[in-house]
Amino acid sequence: MELSETKMAELKGLLATHDQKAWQVKKDHREGKDIGDADAKLKIKLNQIMQRFGMARGAPDNQKALYNDVNRDFEDQRLEQLWRHAQTQDHFDKHELEELKKELMHHQDQLNEYNALAEDIYGPLNDAKKEKDRREKRNAKDNMTPTGDDPADPAKRRARELDLKLKHRDLNKDYQRLRTKMTPEEERGGFEDRRVISLWNDAVEASFSDEELESIKEELQAFEAKIHGYEEAQKAALREEKMYHNLKSRGENPDVQKHHTLRETAKELGSKISETMGSWRKALTAGRIHKEL
């Protein structure tokens, strides 16, 4: 059945709020701030909204049509947008578009696997009957002696959640790589990180000499390396915490300080990245203002 005017208004309001939060997360990411699993939570929230209004996978076609384009190539909205955008760009030839589509399809497959794992941990969202079944099973297992393989074991569950978070980071990294391909290679300056590419483009547009640009490029290369180091530090902390909970679920007594130390190290690196990003923005904005004057 179709949505009533009241339901449609409610849906539009929820989607508007969701878009505003998504915009803020993207803004924070561009500025080098640690967004953690905010992106994953937004996806889950969007799925909850779609489930609530009968527009998720398995919903009636007439309701799905309100949200999905029947001519789309990808289930994921972001991948669909990338693909449509790519087809309008002159810097892709036919062969490159075919290769890009293969990469996007592979990413969609990885995303589907991720979503399946998320459902395996948290269960289908907003499904009352299945939620009741999960609750009954959980209560039954609470009366059993927990084992290393018992999903009701908090340590085991936490390890699975951390594994999911690691997979999400890899997915997001790959999506950013695909997104970067939308920018012509000559405009990337040899950089990979979109935030650094943005800084480089700002520098090119400002009033710097060729010598100054060369120096800026070297500094940005060092900054990009630090960003990569920060991302690896985040993953290392998550992997160590996952190992800690896996060992706990086996009845061992691992050192809790190790992953705490790695997490603090990553947090400090993140703060430095954010500060450096802010300094670059100010310096390059000043350069643009000088050029305009």
Q: What is the pLDDT of residue 21?
A: 83
What is residue 185's DSSP assignment? Answer: G
| pLDDT at residue 19 is higher than 50 | yes
Higher pLDDT among residues 10 and 290, named by residue: 10
Check if the beta carbon of residue 180 is closer than 8 Å to that of residue 188.
yes
Q: How many CB atoms lie within 10 A of CB 89?
A: 14
Of the candidate ranges 69-78, 147-156, 267-276, the one whose mean pLDDT is the lowest? 147-156
Q: pLDDT per residue over 92-104, tens digit each?
A: 999 999 999 999 9
Check if the beta carbon of residue 244 is closer than 8 Å to that of residue 259.
yes
pTM of the model: 0.67
Check if the beta carbon of residue 194 is closer than 8 Å to that of residue 30.
yes
Check if the beta carbon of residue 159 is closer than 8 Å to that of residue 249.
yes
| Spatial distance between the Cα atoms of 157 and 124, rounded to a whole number of angstroms | 16
Helix/strand/coil percent split, the chain, to 5: 75, 0, 25
Q: What is the pLDDT of residue 128?
A: 41
Close Cβ partners of 266 (under 8 Å, ≥ 6 residues apart): 230, 233, 234, 236, 237
| Spatial distance between the Cα atoms of 117 and 170, rounded to a whole number of angstroms | 14
Q: What is the pLDDT of residue 132?
A: 46
Average pLDDT over residues 168-194: 94
- Percent of the chain with pLDDT strictly greater than 70: 77
Check if the beta carbon of residue 163 is closer than 8 Å to that of residue 242.
yes
Q: What is the mean pLDDT of the chain?
A: 82
Of the candidate ranges 17-21, 118-122, 183-187, the one whose mean pLDDT is the lowest? 17-21
Model confidence band, residue 26 (pLDDT cutoffs 50, 70, 90)? confident
